[in-house]
Structure 1
Amino acid sequence: MFDQLQKKLDKALHILKGNNRITEINISETLKEIRRALIDSDVNYKIARTFIQKVKEKSIGKKVITSLKPKELIIKIVYDELVTLMGEKNTEINISRRNPSVILICGLQGSGKTSFSSKLAFFFQKKNKSPLLVAADIYRPAAIDQLRILAEKVKIPVFFLKGSKNVIEIVQKSICYAKKENHDIIIIDTAGRLSINKTMMDEIQKIDKSCQPDEILFVVDGMTGQDAINTVQIFSKFLNFDGIVMTKLDGDSRGGAAITISSIVGKPIKFISNGEKIEDIEIFHPDRIANRILGMGDIVSFVERVQEQFDEERTQKIYNKISKNRFNFEDLLEQIQQIKKIGDLKNIISMIPGSLGIERFFDKKATNKKKDSLKRIESIIHSMTPYERKNPKKLFSESRKKRISKGSGIPLKEIDLFLNQFHSISKMMKTINVNSGQQIIKNFLSSIKK
């Protein structure tokens, strides 16, 4: 997501020379490269030109204070303009006090509506809500099955009427069912079409009128670039939706549509989807995204993602085991599972300040290598007996190590290294507090992955 733009902006900003005042001479080449970076990232030419003009007007003649360099001032101005272009601030999803709140999901076929619907349900489930998914796509073969398969993984119920071709009946009965079963949020996954046409618009307008949703979200495929913007513009003439969802952003390194769609259409982006996992969904924060584009990371989102996955109560139990020298391989395996739930390594790394310069993290082979390393650790632990997992000290036996090496397919030398590091870390963790303990576990995993 935004890889191409990140790298080109970074290169453009490194061109800037001078120390005291920004002039047309020392900024011209930088602005030229920034405009080129925006256009190459699928930003509309007119928007790119206006963007550059605003940056130029706000920077020319500015005297740089002693503690700053021209590059740092330009970064701040570019950051401010990016935030403005993307909508200035995040707009929260509308959840009413009535039960249930109704969220209507619409969009073209293949935009990722069904996958997003399940992700949104999981998003609310983690916030202690009781969501109900409604299968209202009566046209696409296996649409109901797809939604059910996605929802079953996280135990979210799906309402559907088998064989029914009356979408209004499905929606109205789902609301009655939700009230009866105490579901406080309904997410309606509607049918998509190959293009916006009268039949599609008539149906979605009828659904809108029958259920009076609190929120209507229009899902667009981020990989379609400027076509996504055109689709949203046409659709907005027929239905007054509340916000936009950009999907498949992990498949496009440009991201021009995500940057400009709000300013063109006048509707906020409320969510972005950047992966295949059910947890790969983010609230869209223009300021945080601008930080990522400029290589400054997004620590707030990173911390939020970690907090979602790490259970405070479970962490305290782990600390208690550490303090009593009872931390074992089953506990380590659980920590690995928690870390994997945080999300795709590439997306997580992009949230860390300064990560733009660490090219190997953005290399697909390097990212896959890290995933493989985690699998190797899991393979070692899975090759142990339940007794061995609970009693790490018993693994100094050569015969046990050879058996684990054979079972996991990992060389004995690597098994030795892993066990030695584990025992060293365990000794160290006895003397520290819970938060530091968790950090050392993460550092240990990081050292193994190298």
Structure 2
Amino acid sequence: MPSSRDSSSIEEKERSIDESINSGTSCMSHGIPDALSFDRIVSGGVCPPCTVRDFMNYLRYIEHSAENLQFFLWFRDYSARWAQLPASEKALSPEWSREQAETAFAANAPVRPKRENADVTAALKDTDFTDGSKVYVADKTDPFGTPSKSSEDEKMRDHMSDHGSSNVQTLGYSTHESIADQAFQDAGLKWKPFTAQPYRDEIERIIAIYIADCSPRELDISARDRATVLKALQTTTHPTAFRSVLTTVEYTLRRQAHPNFIRWTICNGNRPRVLFARGLGVFGIIAGFIADLLITLSSASRPWRVIPFAAWFIGIATLIAAWKGMCVVLHGLHHRHIRPWELFSDDPDDVLDEKDVSRTSFTSESTNSWEDEPWVARYGKRNFVRKIFDRQIWVQEPALRQIQDTIFLQAILGGFVLSAIVVGIFCAVPRGNFY
């Protein structure tokens, strides 16, 4: 059985996922409406810019973790296809029970390495305590007895020198089967899986792309989890074999990536436009302050000091909205800037309107690296002013527009209250009569 800490962590993630699915607590805790829930997005029930393709682009270009969603979408598709298999084929791959998963997880627990302490060995030399053997104690510099980082780096360098590049095509293997076999061997599994099981070729491809060490879309999982899932996949191709990995991936998507994606989508302008809006807000505030100060120092009556209220109001409201990533001008039109990777697309309608992702992208051997894509250099050549006035497109998702409306109203209300307070303070100050 796994340790209590590991078991509680897995159980907490599964319970959190179940609560998110059944009651939408994940959305409520992050202030996300049910219309923009994770399940609605991955099922294609939302409009741009909140579709699953937009989510994938965010994870790829912003958060750099697209492999999580790619693997999750593949697993949903795989589970649906598995459910349609005849019973005779399903019988070849039995279900991987939770007890089997926990046993495999416990079997892969790391053994605390022992280290020889030179001082203790020298003190006990030629005594009855040594008995011709070495004396091992915990390293004083490492109370938990874990390997040093340098030793781990050496192992990684040795592994990379053996396998070459992280790309599947350059690993030195001719087929996905050989890559999967090597992954099984690295996990200490000697015998080959049953080739007669359904979807065995596809499973070996998934191992080579997502599970194997240094694979092109390697999931961010521990070595213990990797060995556990490989043990399960060596025995069966049943979807339950991915239970431990899927729990980690789905928890990351629901609790971290999805809320971050919604917050990022609320921003209707690119970074230059938001910086420009913040600058306008600061300029409005400074202009209102200077105008009120000059009127207060003059011999003009108090009612004149109310005139700069407009500058205060516009400046503060614009700054509050821009602080949350919104441009009030774009919001007034319910527009947003087109993303850089959409801006130079040959077929923008296909990028902006497609609500699903092709199944072939799940098992693609290419990495998620995008630094060499053509749009990167072309967008980098644009000057700052041109980026401020980039192409715009209408925000189609109603739920997203409601969130933006709420932020806009908060900015208006905040700007009005703060402007009234500041102008009231200036009106209470006696006039200076300096000119």
More strand by share: 1
TM-score by structure 1 length?
A: 0.27
TM-score by structure 2 length?
A: 0.28
Structure with the larger RCO, 1 or 2 (CA within 8 Å, 6+ apart): 2
- Structure ID, larger Rg: 2
